[in-house]
């Protein structure tokens, strides 16, 4: 592999470029923005690593969003994201250039890829982080992630091993505005590509759901465990239809089979930023609120006046979900 000199290779911050569903999934761009502020404190550069076929356009996009350097490995056999091949190639790049920090979005691929990569590199990994900072004294990366079932937030440091690796929840950081005049370097390191032969992609087809329907909705109605039954959950769809919105759910509601995994909000689900979010029968666990914190206005319905969800709600209704929903539907049907 040919080495290319970088300004501060031992201090660089790397971001894995997950460009699939580029217009819906902005987490790589959000990470570049955050890496940029962290890099200023470390006196380092931000590098995005991109693997795939004909990915030059993404490299240009990453520069426009703040990357100082984009490292591209372009090859037809890298067209599909393949965890074994990607781990081997990226591990080789890391060993060559030795970045200080390596970040990826907690996308389905990032969640599979980064643990394998960390294992290969014999370093630590914090998953689903919701904050990142640099310690002023030690210059170590402070990786904040929910722990012990969300009961507390753990601040993790990787003291002895490199790189300091973390996956980050989508929607936590803001992306920078696209600047087509931004200047960055794009390099193509020489790597030996041997696609993993044990795993072969035979075929693939897109998921049959409307992509981005929840993430882009102006109104979102969420049902939690307190919604009780499937019949009650259906009334959330009635409310969403009246308000031209979409329906989301917490983990217990999905686990109870009230709706599909594609409607899950939170740390392990989607993040939404609607103008109005009505959350019904949800307690306000951190793993859930992580996914709704970008909402403009939150209305919470819960029978327990002490439920933590009221701490983040703009308006709280204390009472039984079924009675309040019935009343709300009745009133809205008369008005609309």
Ligand X SMILES: Cc1cc2nc3c(=O)[nH]c(=O)nc-3n(C[C@H](O)[C@H](O)[C@H](O)COP(=O)(O)OP(=O)(O)OC[C@H]3O[C@@H](n4cnc5c(N)ncnc54)[C@H](O)[C@@H]3O)c2cc1C
Stretch that binds ligand X, among 27-35, 51-59, 103-111, 281-289 (CB under 6 A): 281-289
Q: Which residues make Cβ contacts (< 8 Å) with residue 320, sequence separation at least 6? A: 303
From candidates 17, 245, 266, 274, binder to ligand X by CB under 6 A: 266
Residue whose entry in the numeric block shows the structure tokens 């996914």: 291
For residue 283, the surrounding DSSP H or E stretch is none
Compute how many other C-beta atoms are within 10 angstroms of the C-beta atom of residue 47: 28
State the number of binding residues for ligand X (CB under 6 A): 27
R_g (Cα) of the chain, nearest Å: 22
Stretch that binds ligand X, among 38-46, 72-80, 210-218, 283-291 (CB under 6 A): 283-291
Q: Which is nearer to ligand X, 111 or 303 (CB)?
A: 303
H-assigned helices in the chain = 27-42, 56-64, 83-97, 108-121, 230-242, 251-255, 286-289, 309-312, 321-335
Q: In which region does residue 107 sit, left (phi positive, over 0), alpha (psi from -120 to 50) or beta (all else)?
A: beta
Residue in 20, 90, 12, 1 with CA at minimum distance from that of residue 47:
12
Question: Within 13 A of 271's CA, how many CA atoms are on the CB side?
Answer: 23
Q: Is 311 in the site for ligand X (CB under 6 A)?
A: no
Q: Is 114 in the site for ligand X (CB under 6 A)?
A: no
Q: Supply 182's token pair.
A: 């931004």
Closest CB 309 distance from ligand X, rounded Å: 7
Q: Which is nearer to ligand X, 165 or 253 (CB)?
A: 253
Q: Is 269 in the site for ligand X (CB under 6 A)?
A: yes
Q: Is 30 in the site for ligand X (CB under 6 A)?
A: no
Q: Which is nearer to ligand X, 10 or 229 (CB)?
A: 229
What's the CA gap between 308 and 305, in Å, rounded?
Answer: 9
The site map against ligand X for 147-186 (x = CB under 6 A) is --xx------------------------------------
What's the CA gap between 47 and 170, in Å, rounded?
Answer: 19
Binding to ligand X (CB under 6 A): which residues in 204-263? 224-226, 250-253
Q: Is 328 in the site for ligand X (CB under 6 A)?
A: no
Q: Is 196 in the site for ligand X (CB under 6 A)?
A: no
Q: Which is nearer to ligand X, 138 or 326 (CB)?
A: 326
Binding to ligand X (CB under 6 A): which residues in 291-310? 301-304, 307
Closest CB 62 distance from ligand X, rounded Å: 27
From candidates 30, 143, 282, 295, binder to ligand X by CB under 6 A: 282
DSSP for 233-252 reads HHHHHHHHHHTT-EEEE-HH
Residue whose entry in the numeric block shows the structure tokens 């201090």: 11
Contacting residues toward ligand X, per CB under 6 A: 149-150, 224-226, 250-253, 264, 266-269, 281-283, 285, 287-288, 301-304, 307, 320-321
């Amino acid at each position: 592999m040919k080495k290319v000199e970088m300004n501060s290779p031992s201090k660089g911050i790397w971001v894995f470029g997950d460009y699939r569903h580029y217009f819906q999934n902005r987490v790589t761009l959000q990470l570049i923005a955050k890496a940029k502020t962290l890099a200023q404190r470390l006196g380092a550069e931000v590098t995005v690593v991109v693997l795939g076929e004909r990915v030059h356009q993404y490299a240009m996009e990453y520069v426009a969003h703040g990357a100082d350097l984009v490292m591209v490995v372009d090859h037809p056999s890298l067209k599909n994201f393949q965890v074994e091949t990607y781990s081997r190639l990226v591990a080789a790049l890391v060993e060559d250039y030795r970045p200080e920090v390596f970040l990826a979005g907690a996308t389905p691929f990032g969640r599979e890829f980064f643990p394998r990569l960390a294992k290969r590199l014999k370093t630590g990994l914090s998953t689903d982080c919701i904050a990142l900072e640099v310690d002023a004294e030690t210059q170590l990366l402070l990786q904040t992630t929910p722990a012990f079932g969300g009961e507390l937030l753990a601040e993790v440091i990787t003291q002895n091993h490199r790189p300091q690796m973390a996956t980050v929840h989508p929607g936590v950081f803001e992306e920078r505005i696209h600047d087509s005049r931004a200047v960055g370097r794009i390099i193509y390191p020489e790597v030996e590509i041997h696609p993993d032969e044990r795993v072969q992609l035979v075929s693939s087809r897109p998921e049959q759901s409307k992509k981005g329907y929840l993430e882009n909705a102006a109104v979102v109605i969420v049902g939690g465990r307190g919604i009780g039954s499937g019949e009650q959950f259906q009334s959330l769809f009635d409310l969403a239809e009246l308000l031209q919105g979409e329906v989301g759910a917490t983990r217990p509601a999905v686990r109870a089979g009230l709706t599909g995994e594609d409607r899950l909000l939170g740390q392990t689900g989607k993040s939404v930023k609607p103008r109005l979010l009505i959350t019904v029968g949800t307690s306000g666990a951190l793993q859930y609120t992580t996914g709704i914190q970008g909402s403009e206005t939150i209305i919470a319905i819960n029978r327990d006046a002490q439920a933590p969800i009221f701490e983040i709600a703009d308006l709280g209704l204390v009472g039984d979900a079924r009675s309040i929903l019935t009343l709300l539907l009745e009133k809205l049907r008369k008005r609309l």
